[in-house]
Chains A and B, each alone.
Chain A
């Protein structure tokens, strides 16, 4: 039930879906409460998020800083545009590597799905080039290792 899906849409979008057993109220909270975000938004094993600032209100800012055991780190900053408890969050974010990446506009929906939640995260990048660069630098996106399926997936 928890299978992650991820696919490109048009030239500039990227859509990720994931189902959760918990209701939208809980999943929404886990995406907007810094104390909870800090527990799960960590990426691969070995990374922690020592700084998690999150003002979950329209116009509010957030800043996430990650580091690994080797002391390597990077951070993301962003602003909230819209928050509709417990169904929708719209924000923009950029990653510092160390130069900022172009803004990624993200709409995250939390829809009732039986007793649980269907989360749909739709990212919009400024152009196809930026989306390609994002795929190459660290935002997640996946693809099965089938050559024929390359078309339409990236």
Chain B
């Protein structure tokens, strides 16, 4: 799996999306992250591992704590990819606008 595949696969899970949404508000420890999810800390750690391997989350060492935060580069790479894809689709429809504008005048005479 390349980086983007891993990133999007990681996002296919609702708990992992919720974790990212929580981390978007700032750094958090595993214990803090586990609280709203009715999940055990090992279960949350497992999700964090997937997010870390996908390059979306990084950890910091602070004494015995390992607070997690969003990995800016990973998230930005995904954003850029989506922006590019979105641009391709927009380009299609901008082209279609022109094609439709050209069809308009002789529309009545043509049948299919």
Contacts and interface: CB of A to CB of B under 8 A. Distances in A.
Contacts of A72: none
A151 B18 contact: yes
Contacts of B7: 136
Which A-B residue pairs are the 7 nearest by beta carbons?
A: A142-B86, A140-B89, A147-B24, A151-B21, A136-B8, A132-B12, A22-B100
| Chain B contact residues: helix, strand, loop or mixed | helix
A76 to B, nearest CB: 13
A84 to B, nearest CB: 16
A59 B105 CA distance: 32
Interface residues of A, number: 44
Contacts of A69: none
A137 B5 contact: yes
A97 B48 CA distance: 30
Contacts of B104: 22, 26
A26 B97 CA distance: 11
Nearest to A130: B12
B78 to A, nearest CB: 8
Contact of B112 (A20, A33, A145): A33
A22 to B, nearest CB: 4
A143 B8 CA distance: 13
Contacts of A2: 93-94, 97
